[in-house]
Structure 1
Amino acid sequence: MERDVDVIVVGAGGCGLTAAIAAAEAGASVALLEKEERAGGNTWLSTGSVPAAGSRFQKEAGVQDSPEIMAADLLRKSGPHDAESTVELLARESASLVEWLVDDHQVDLRLITDYKHVGHSITRLHAPAARKGEFLVKDLVAAAERLGVEVVTGNPVAGLLIEDGAVVGVRVAGERSGEYELRAGAVVLAANGFGGNREMLRQWIPEIAEAQYFGAHGSTGEAIAWSEELGSQVGNMGAYQGYAAVAYLHGSIVSWTTVEMGACLLSPSGERMGDESVGYSAFAPVVSAVTEESWVVLDQRIRDYVLGNEEEFRDLVEMGGLAEAADEAAVARIIGADEATVAASLEEFAQAAQGNRPDPFGRTDFGFGPLGRPYYVVRSVPALFHTQGGVTVTDTAAVVHADGTTIPGLFAGGGVAAGVSGRDGADGYSSGNGLLTAIGLGRIAGLSAARTAGEE
């Protein structure tokens, strides 16, 4: 078959960049197409945290972990779902994945030891030193370029080329790129999920469809739609990653480490809304069911601790995102709530944190303990970050028909593939699940696509 390149990768976020690196390393010529003007996608907006079990970085830190423990943790958080085999696959591959990125491709990932984060019983998140996804993206772009792969931005793929039931390339159509066809031995779909597509959200995840969306604008679901047109099977389409506290108007996440260290969230009336320790994703629909905005309340110890560990939180502080409140009355004034209500909420929270009485919402983990004066208050909104459903893939990241057979020449990962965060809702999301399927399936898809192209 006539071809322009061996492998086409659609989308240059974490998944697409990793797929391109893996394919090029295997000897394939690669075209990496990105519809936006910058690589990165949701990976750029993330903390860059990739969970890995049994990595040498864990061993050096004295952390005992295994793929079996990691898979059990993720499935405990997610519950039963349509991609359980993917959980086990990615857990097995996770340590070699992180070591491959660091050792072979100069990607700066370091074990986070000061917190476990949601869903993990062991410290296994590996992230850039600054804990910002943009640094992960920059390292991946540099690695791709060293292998001769250029990120071709401003080139939106408009559809797949099909011959005799096999995917043989893509059709590009954009204002800057113009229209053209590109043929290849295999195509990897790495164009993320459908968080930016209100119509698809209303179809699949109505509970969060009208919430503010803080993911990448390019995540509009067309790659899932193309696969469905070919008869692909989809799974976990009702699952998503939410975030309960995005700083308003700053657009930066209020680090959930604040909550893990003992912060709480108050509604506009000054009342708590539930057990915040369930996690930033699971707590998002709890907040959105009550209010369009809320307030994170922390203290000096928490502020200083997170400030010293997380650059994005430091940026939020420097932008003036935290308001200092000398006492409960000042917190009430910032919120615009009744002083007695705020005082009662914070007193009840303090009593639970001290162990004097059970928390009415069942929270048992209070980090540093009761909040102390002065308080710090951050105005925030609940948001949708990333959909977690997509097409069903095999252990080689091949896209699966509804009858169980694979679609020749087509591979997928990241937000295009069925995720590992449960079937429905936001409470099945463990920290790093998005990047686990992006980077993990990206590597597998790139290798598989290169192998397929080579066989042809």
Structure 2
Amino acid sequence: MDYDYDVIVVGGGGAGMTAALVAHEAGASVMILEADGKLGGATWLSGGVIYAAGTSVQKKLGIEDTPQAMYDYIMTLNAWQTRPDIIRTFSERSAEAVEWMVSLGAEYEWVVKSGVDTVPRGHCTKGAGFTIGELLKNEVGAMGIETALNTRVERLLFENGRVCGVHADGVDLHAKAVVLTTGGLGNSPTMRAKYFPSAAQHGDIVYAVHDDAPFILGDGIKLGEQVGAEITGIDTGLVLPSAALVPNSVEAFLPPWMMLVNVDGHRFMPENAPYAVSGYLINEQPGARAYGIFDEKTLVEGSADKRFSDPYHTGEVSQTWDEDLIRKHVGTGRIKTADTLEEIADMCGINRLALRATAERYNADARNDVDTEWEKNAPRHFPIDEAPYFAVEVRASVIGQTSAGVDIDATTRVRDRNGATIPGLFAAGETVGCIQGKRYSGGGMGVGNALTFGRIAGEEVAKEVLANDPLPGLETA
């Protein structure tokens, strides 16, 4: 068989460009096929945080950390309901992704606690995901790697038990191996309903943070299924809390100045809990919803402080939790207002007696500038005791990441439904379904996954296609 390339990479986001660059550097001829009109994918649109342990950036900032500590944290958070081999690999090689980005020109001034871990591991790229995307895109261009934009792959070529290329735009392109890096499925309502129902349950208000990358439609799953790939990680991913007051706004952090309760009238988390856990907690409440309660004084004074919305130092400012916008939506009915908490409770279907008891405890703490029950760490604690009162419904309706995807081994080789690897097929990034686990470990897991496993995919695919031994399935080709 004549091959057009050693390697075809399907998807030109962070994982795809990384895999292509590493394979090219090893000596393989590479083609990137990207359905969109530009490279970058979800990585380009992200906050640019990389989750990693044991980096030179951490050391420079005096942060002591190890891959073993990262491994222990992720496995414990997921109650060991995730693959130890995958998490071990991620933990041990995550630092390489940061060092590589530094070598390409990325700058890191901040490393933050981006989940519920005790060690700062969220490496905040100066310039956010745009910087990562541009650095990778420029490197792809500088290396002369062939790229075809506006080219959506329709199916994989499979002969003699091996993936040997792709069919796209009516043309067969043959390669010794294919790497799937098509991203997640967050922009497809049909795929969300099938593979991420806990997010899809919120209906028309659901949207994904990568809405501006239109082809994040689950293509990797569809292509993998064509050749028998196992699909794993179903109904896992990251969901972010939202009041849905601004269409398609992405704000992962709820303001610390309100009181959040479920329909039973109880608080169930610190209101400014990390987005790595807050969306899950909201979805676990009755009706998968909660209500933010605040009063007039809190609205005026609390909403003026926007610091809560930008812990990753990206320069973004909250769009939703703004006094003028909230007052506007009082008029539309999206935000309820009344002169008593009991009236607010009745308007929202909240247990009025429980809400009153919750508010009494909350206010007693707030007057002492503490939160003894849920230990909310806020710049200032506001009692909710001055009419009028306000309530806004909050749901976990924003998709930060989808985690259903093809199964891989620790070398990024795609596995079939029997657990055997599929010759010639590799995958990395959000296309993969066995990396996150039941819980999102912290901000930067998505980009960290893309860069870390993109590098591994590039190494492994190059090693395979450049080997002198015949590739599996080619002995009879």
Quick one: which of 90, 107, 110 aligns to 2:108?
110
Number of aligned residues: 432
The match for 2:172 is 181
- AA paired with 1:32? I
Determine whether 1:299 maps to 2:302.
yes
> CA separation of 1:135/1:379 partners in 2, compared to 1, >3 Å: closer, same or farther?
farther
Contact 2:263 2:290 in 1 (8 A): no
- AA paired with 1:40? G
The Cα of 1:189 is off from its aligned counterpart by 0.2
Q: Which secondary structure does the structure 1 equivalent of 2:177 belong to?
A: strand
The match for 1:85 is 85
Determine whether 1:283 maps to 2:274.
no
Runs of at least 5 residues in structure 2 that lack an aligned partner in the other structure: 345-354, 472-477
Cα distance in 1 between the residues matched to 2:107 and 2:41: 19
Contact 2:180 2:428 in 1 (8 A): yes
> CA separation of 1:37/1:347 partners in 2, compared to 1, >3 Å: closer, same or farther?
farther
> CA separation of 1:311/1:339 partners in 2, compared to 1, >3 Å: closer, same or farther?
farther
The Cα of 1:401 is off from its aligned counterpart by 2.2
Cα distance in 1 between the residues matched to 2:154 and 2:259: 43
Quick one: which of 98, 116, 127 aligns to 2:124?
127
The Cα of 1:409 is off from its aligned counterpart by 0.9
Cα distance in 1 between the residues matched to 2:304 and 2:312: 13
The match for 2:406 is 391
The Cα of 1:372 is off from its aligned counterpart by 8.3
The Cα of 1:116 is off from its aligned counterpart by 0.7
Cα distance in 2 between the residues matched to 1:246 and 1:58: 35
Quick one: which of 274, 278, 283 aligns to 2:268?
274
The Cα of 1:264 is off from its aligned counterpart by 4.1
Determine whether 1:449 maps to 2:461.
yes
Runs of at least 5 residues in structure 1 that lack an aligned partner in the other structure: 174-178
Equivalent positions of 1:28-427 (< 5 A) are 28-103=28-103, 105-106=104-105, 108-113=106-111, 115-130=112-127, 132-173=128-169, 179-211=170-202, 212-216=206-210, 217-245=214-242, 248-256=245-253, 262-264=256-258, 266=260, 274-275=268-269, 276-287=271-282, 289-291=287-289, 299=302, 302-304=305-307, 310-314=313-317, 316=318, 322-323=322-323, 335-341=335-341, 348-352=361-365, 354=368, 358-359=372-373, 363-371=374-382, 382-423=397-438, 427=439
The Cα of 1:222 is off from its aligned counterpart by 2.5
Cα distance in 2 between the residues matched to 1:170 and 1:120: 42
The Cα of 1:67 is off from its aligned counterpart by 0.3
The Cα of 1:306 is off from its aligned counterpart by 5.2
The match for 1:430 is 442
The Cα of 1:250 is off from its aligned counterpart by 5.0
The Cα of 1:66 is off from its aligned counterpart by 0.2
Contact 1:392 1:399 in 2 (8 A): yes
The Cα of 1:454 is off from its aligned counterpart by 1.0
**Which deviates more, 370-379 or 3-12?**
370-379
Larger Rg: 2
Cα distance in 1 between the residues matched to 2:401 and 2:81: 17
Contact 2:239 2:399 in 1 (8 A): yes
Q: Which secondary structure does the structure 2 equivalent of 1:238 belong to?
A: coil
> CA separation of 1:376/1:325 partners in 2, compared to 1, >3 Å: closer, same or farther?
farther
The two structures have a TM-score, normalised by structure 2, of: 0.79
> CA separation of 1:281/1:74 partners in 2, compared to 1, >3 Å: closer, same or farther?
same
Cα distance in 1 between the residues matched to 2:134 and 2:281: 35
